[in-house]
Amino acid sequence: MSDHVVLDGERLTVTDVIAVARNHTSVAIAPQRAARLSEVRRAVEEAAAGPDAVYGLNTGFGKLASVKIAPDQLTALQRNLIVSHASGVGPPLPVEMVRAIMLLRINVLLKETSGVRPELPERLAAMLNAGLHPVVPEQGSVGASGDLAPLSHVGLGLMGGGQIRRSDGQDPEPAGDALRAAGIAPIVFGVKEGLAFINGTQVQTAALSLLVHDASALWRNAHAAAALSIEALKGTPDPFDARLHNARPHAGQLASASLLRTLLDGSQIRESHRAGDVRVQDAYSMRCTPQILGPVWDTLEYARRVVDVELNAATDNPLVVDGELISGGNFHGQPVAMALDYVTIALTTLANLAERRLERILNPDLSPGLPAFLAAQPGLESGLMMVQIVAAALAGECRALSTPASVQSIPTDANQEDYVPMGMAAASKARRVFDNARRVVACELVSGAQGLEHHRPLRSAPQVERVYAWVRERVAPLTGDRSLTDDLERVADAVGKEAIV
């Protein structure tokens, strides 16, 4: 991995976002960008000084766009915009999210369409590299005209206002003190720059970028859990035959079936019951796994395509194009909000499916000879009874959160902004559902590993044995009742960070 990410407004990737947000990789600005930004900036300053009203340069904002601002008040206009809009509420966003936001904001400001001075992205990059992160409340953005409130809190920090959190996890401190200590001069937003800073979808896009990365790993881990359950339940891999799936060749379905074939290949458990098994077909939650998790992958791929575009898109207003300032609506977050809602629905589907398989392992009416709740002494002991109850609670919450936010528009700004996407509501729900889903998958992994204990000395497929070993590195076999909270959280934490296979 490179020791820094070079930004030019055109080539930012999800991999870069992860490197900067989580690994604290530093950023550098491509040298040629400063000169080009300075050229474009001249057109902005000329327009602001001219006799015509140009939105955001020498007028008010939103419903107040008809108010012409005097030339000697243009800097105050931009300052007032930032401080008035930095009015979010709720818990602060995590540092990794704020770092991703800052990265995306630098990248979009480097586009010629932004019309800002090079000093603005350079100063924000210095702040990011110094590990100084503005405290950004989670709530308060409807996702149109940009993520106004959260981006304003970032801008406020760059001005030396508000609070700053450092990378070392210390308590927040005044932004002005932190900038001084780092030798970074607070920015004074010039003409258009305050508006350019907060018009954009970078907060909801940062959330989607992190989510796409994490959900892709979780999708693979959901297959590891599925394979473990199928072995514990003495299921058959026959429904994953490539010929069957080639007859309905959705990309995600093909990938899911292929992964399951690899995971289940070479199982002694399967061979032990092949001849005498009277079951004709496994339940849907087992044999239809590719048809259910396949669309989840297709949804994640769609969301990734949205991210790939949005990371390098011009999303402020007005845009500087060929020396002209064109006012429009690229700040509207509908594409991102809808992708977040789709991912939420997909992750809920993944969680629901995992809960159904672990129910089959723990329910003696559904499992092939396994003890009730996999307890050593059913009745005296409850075994893993609560694991299914926990998974059901999490899956139920996922369902409640799967109502799309992107159709819940409430007009704002005196009905000037009369259709908004609620992108941050979609982002918050998606993050919550992801956390729930990884815990449900952890519940299935713990249950599947315990179920496999009852088939020893037979060995499952080699890849499933790897999954089993991965679980056992974190959770000891259940030999009697105990609290399972730490076990489940340990597995869930790992499931959300790394691919098992």
**Alpha helices (H) in 50-174, listed in sequence order:** 74-85, 95-109, 119-129, 148-158
pLDDT digits (tens, 9 = 90+) for 212-233: 999 999 999 999 999 999 999 9
Mean pLDDT for the chain?
A: 94
Given a cut of 80, is residue 48 above it in pLDDT? yes
Q: What is the pLDDT of residue 501?
A: 83
Residues annotated as part of the active site: 55
Q: Please say whether the beta carbons of 137 and 152 come within 8 A.
A: no
Tell me the C-alpha distance between 209 and 173, whole Å.
Answer: 28
- What single string gives the DSSP state of each residue in 438-458? HHHHHHHHHHHHHHHHTTTTS
Say what the pLDDT of residue 66 is.
81
Q: What is the DSSP letter of 93?
A: P
**For the segment 411-439, what is each residue's pLDDT rounded down to a tens digit?**
998 888 899 999 999 999 999 999 999 99
**Mean pLDDT, residues 369-383 taken together:** 96
Pairwise CA distance, residues 121 & 212, whole Å: 26
Instruction: Tell me 466's DSSP state.
Output: H
pLDDT band at 267 (very low <50, low <70, confident <90, very high): very high
pLDDT bracket for residue 276 (50, 70, 90):
low
Tell me, what's the pLDDT at 67? Answer: 85
CB-based contact 501:463 (threshold 8 Å)? yes
CA 463 to chain centre: 28
Q: What own/partner pairs with CB < 8 Å and gap ≥ 24 does 175-184 have?
A: 175/132, 175/134, 178/132, 179/127, 179/132, 182/126, 182/127, 182/130, 182/132, 184/123, 184/126, 184/127, 184/130, 184/132
pLDDT confidence bin for 275, thresholds 50/70/90: low
Distance between CA atoms of residues 305 and 292, nearest Å: 21
User: What is the CA angle 372-440-209, rounded to 5?
Assistant: 165
Sign of CA dihedral 290, 293, 295, 298: negative
List phi, psi (to 5°) of 470: -60, -45
- Omega within 30 of 0 (cis) for the link into 318: yes
- Residue 68's pLDDT band, with cuts at 50, 70 and 90, is confident
Which residue has tokens 């359950």? 229
Query: Which pair of structure tokens corresponds to residue 355?
Result: 């809960």
Express each pLDDT in 143-173 by its tens digit: 998 899 999 999 999 999 999 999 877 789 9
**In which band, very low, low, confident or very high, does the pLDDT at 69 lie, cut at 50, 70 and 90?**
confident
Domains of the chain: 4-200 (1.10.275.10), 207-315+326-495 (1.20.200.10)
What pLDDT digit, counting tens, does each position of 317-357 carry? 889 998 888 989 999 999 999 999 999 999 999 999 999 99
Kindly state the tokens that stand for 481: 């009742």
Report pLDDT for 273.
74
| 3-state SS assignment for residue 214 | helix
Structure confidence at residue 28 as a pLDDT band (50, 70, 90): very high
SS3 249: coil
41, containing H or E segment: helix 32-49
Residue-wise pLDDT tens digits, 399-409: 999 999 999 99
Q: Among 27-31, 50-54, 129-133, 155-159, which is the least confidently predicted range?
A: 50-54
Tokens of 5: 């990410």
Coil, helix or strand for 273?
Answer: helix
pLDDT band at 286 (very low <50, low <70, confident <90, very high): very high
Q: What is the number of alpha carbons within 13 Å of residue 355 lying toward its C-beta? A: 24
Q: What are residue 5's DSSP bridge partners?
A: 27
**Shortest CA distance to 409 belongs to which of 399, 419, 394, 417?**
419
The mean pLDDT value for 271-276 works out to: 73
Whether the CB-CB separation of 147 and 87 falls below 8 Å is answered with no
Pairwise CA distance, residues 378 & 68, whole Å: 78
Give Cα separations from 412 to 82, 328, 330, 422 (angstroms).
18, 17, 17, 11
Identify the pLDDT of residue 18. Answer: 97
The pLDDT, as a whole number, for residue 111 is: 95
Share of the chain above pLDDT 70, in %: 99
